[in-house]
Each structure stands twice: as structure tokens, then as C-alpha cells.
Structure 1
């Protein structure tokens, strides 16, 4: 497949460093890492925004696979839970992409920031039990699909989703173990990442070599992040995850903050 003309000259060192950071975060927090990859590719490595989004989506697949295997070896992956989340997310992503042209993006960003603030507060109130099991009945299954749908819509609107939403919601709302939430989140991310990548390849919005460089570097350190997640107490894990969400808010505020047009006076 030909790499799109919008791809700059690849900075291999920068791509590998990005991958190392992504792999650690992916294993520790159960997130795909797009929240890290996208701004690095756009603001530091000179990628076009659409190409960066497509490349990010492909790059997160490898560390997610390694993360799922690592969590599964300790029995911390719920396949049914992940499948229900993925079912909603796959349908939600195109809806979010459609809404992108209908809604004011900055208003959506600030609404999502408010949602993350509520999540952060909740993480200091609800401490998960490591032996907790989510009993999935008809109602719970439907709610999981709705959470997945919301995650997919958010991903389509803002390029953010996956573990940033799923992990805290699983812990706070459904009472899941934080480790099961993270392992299941990564399994969901594999499905959504692959489905989204197929569409991006057709539109030539992927730089496969850059995605491979990030993905391989990330996959190499993901097991260390998973190991560290298991060594932290549930309370400490919540605090660390809350700190990560604060960084997510800062990143989103930078994007959402009104910018002066070039040439405008001070």
C-alpha cells in the first residue's frame, strides 16, 4: 500500500520513543494510547491530522494484543464483557464521525472534559475489589453495549475513547476489578482498532510503517505496564489513573481553547 503524500519524512527515533510511552500506558491503564500518539504525530512529528488518527488506530493494535495476553495469563480478561463493549463501540464510531459535522466540536470537548472531572472524583470514592466479578444478565449486557456505543461515538467525535472511558466506568458503575476492567478494555480496543483501520486503509489515512514502529516499540514494554498495574493496590491504582486522566484533560483543553488567528493583534 502506498503511503499518503500527507506523511512527512519519518522520525524513527521519535516514533519509537512514542511507542515506548504508549506501551507503558497501555499496560498500566488499559488504554489504547491514541491520546498520546495523536498529539505527538500532529504537533511534534508533522503528520496531517487525518493521517495521524488513522496511523494511531493501527498502532494501538499490537500493544493491545500483548496487553490482553498479559492480563489473560492472570485471569484478568472478561471476554463476554469486552465483546458487548466492542459491539456498541463498532456501531458508535461511525455515528460519532457523522455527528462531527453536525455538532460544535469545542462544545463537545468541554462537555467531555466535565465528564472526565466527574470520573476523577468518583475514582477517589469507589475503590474496586480485586476479586470482584461483574454478573452479566440481560440488563447489564444492554448497559455494557450502551457504554460501548458511547465510547465509539466519543472516539468518532474526538479521536478519544477506549480505556479512558471504559476502565473507570467499569470500576465505578459496574463494580469490576480494576485489572479485569483494564484487560477487557484492551480486548475491546483490538476489535475497534482493526475495524476502524479497514476503513482508514481504504481512504489511505494510514502510514503503516510509522504505525508498525510505534506498535512494535509499544508491544515490547506493555507487559511491564501490566506487571506494575498488578503490583499497585486498588486505591493506588485509582489515584494513578486519576492522574493520567488529569493529563487527558490538559491535552483536551489545549485543543479546545480558542486560538487567535494568525495576524490577529495581541
Structure 2
């Protein structure tokens, strides 16, 4: 790689950290397509490298939210517990999938995620209290914990297969199941995402599917983007950002799927 590629890797990291800090989403949805299409990495190595970056970016953002008092571990920790197990299962399943199948699957997930974000940005109404009430109600605490454990397992499996730390899914779980305020949900989900991504990254590293040099460069940018993004997260219109990222995800998913089909 030459200097231009080094600078590009850092720039990608800045964008990744910024996205994670603003909406609690895993930056893997940006990193994986770019690493496969631009840096010519195999999809397995791209996912493993993205998980490595995800750990650093998410931890940076989580710490920033923690300092602002926007983190709640007591409820969210149950999701994290089973997501670790699920992440290992997902990484194992991914290693058995063909390159083309994994690329196509990831592209489809990318499109769905983008369209979901667009739909959410137009459908959701503003709430002055910044809280979205959950529609699932449990009679006992153990039912709530059991549901969180099951959701965590599912999030972990998807994380291991597609390389996503599960940020969006964790965020929805915290909002729907726990009725978290939005900012506290983002702070807590990024910490859980750190744990989930770390578990998945270990699985990919054990199979030699992480490019540490490229990943470290992207991680440097992710830390910078995460710190700056967290500082200004409350000053940017959330719906506008959701629409922009949603369009980006959907477009990249279409491109990645098309390339996999053509190959």
C-alpha cells in the first residue's frame, strides 16, 4: 500500500467512528464493502478486520457516553452475555460459507438495514423526552431477562456471520424491551457491541482472517471520529443523519451484491 491508501484507511476510520458515535451503528457496514471492493481483501478477512476496528471504535464511543452519564449496564448486560456465545457460533458458520454466498448475504443485509433506517427516519415522530416506550410488557423480571438472553444470542450469531457488532439490533432491543432513553440506549449498546465484536473478532483471528496493519490504520481514524462524533452527537439532526446513512448502506449493499453475482 502507498501513502494514499494509508490516508484513505484512516479517513474510513474517521467516518466509521463518527457513525458509531451518532447512531450507535456498527461501522462494519461501511468497512467490509470498502475493504473487499477497494482494498481487494477476501470477504472473510474484511469482516475479521472490520470486527477488530469495531471493538476499538465502539469502546471509544462507549467511554464518551459513559462520561456523559448515558450508560446503563444492569439491564443491557443480559444481552451481552449470550451475544458472546452467539458470536462464536456465527463466526464458525461464516467459516463454512463460500466467499460468494457470504458476500451476497452481506450485501442483502446491508440493503435491508439501509431501507429500515430510511423507513424509521420518516416514520418516527419526535419526542421531547427522547424516550420511546417499549411495546413488550413482562409480568415478571425473569421473563424480561429470558427475552434479553434470547435476543442476545440471535444478535451474536448475526454478528459472527456478517461481522456486525450488532449495534442497531442491540439499540432496538434496549429501546423496545427496556424502554431506554435514546442517548442512554446508544451509550449502552456501543459497550455491548464492543463485547460482541471482540468475541467475533477472536473467532476470525483464530482463523487468520484479520489484517492487523490495515485494521490498525482504520482504528486510528475510528478513535478520532468516535471522540469528535460523541462530542457533537446531540447537535446534529438525527433524522437527517439516519436518512443519509440509510441511503449509503442501501447503495453499497446493492453494489456489493451485484459484484458477488457477476463473479
Shorter-chain TM range is: 0.7 to 0.9
SS of match in other structure, 2:31: helix
Correspondence 1:181 to 2:185: yes
Superposition TM-score, scaled by structure 2 size = 0.79
- 1:60 is paired with a residue of what secondary structure? helix
Are residue 30 (structure 1) and residue 24 (structure 2) matched?
Answer: yes
Identify if the C-alpha distance between structure 1 residues 27 and 96 changes in structure 2 by more than 3 Å, giving closer, same or farther: same
- Could you tell me which runs of 5 or more consecutive residues in structure 2 were left unpaired when the two chains were aligned: none
Give yes or no for contact 1:14–1:45 (8 Å, CA) kept in 2: no
- Select which of 54, 79, 82 maps to 2:48: 54
Alignment gaps of 5+ in structure 1: 1-7
Residue of structure 1 equivalent to 2:76: 82
* Alpha-carbon contact 2:33-2:256 (below 8 Å) kept: no
Structure 1 CA distance for aligned equivalents of residues 106 and 13 of structure 2: 28
Q: Does 1:125 align with 2:124?
A: yes
Quote the residue 1:225 is aligned against: 229
Structure 2 residue corresponding to 1:150, chosen from 137, 150, 154 = 154
What is the CA distance between 1:97 and its match in structure 2?
4.2
* Corresponding position: 1:16 with 2:10: yes
Contact 2:113 2:250 in 1 (8 A): no
Match of 2:241 in 1: 240
Structure 1 contact 93–152 (Cα < 8 Å) conserved: yes
Aligned residues: 252
Q: What displacement does 1:69 show?
A: 1.1
Q: What is the SS of the residue equivalent to 2:198? A: helix
Superimposed CA distance per residue, residues 155-180 of structure 1 (whole angstroms, 9 cap, x where no aligned partner): 23333352132224433564322211
Structure with greater helix percent: 2
| TM superposition shift of 1:35 | 1.0
Could you tell me which residue of structure 1 aligns to residue 251 of structure 2? 250
- CA shift for structure 1 position 47: 1.7
Equivalents in 1 of 2:243, 2:141: separation in Å? Answer: 29
Name the residue aligned to 1:4: none
Aligned CA distance change for structure 1 residues 9 and 224 (closer, same or farther; 3 Å): closer
Using the size of structure 1 for normalisation, the TM-score is 0.78
Aligned pair in 2 of structure 1 residues 121, 255: CA closer, same or farther (>3 Å)? same
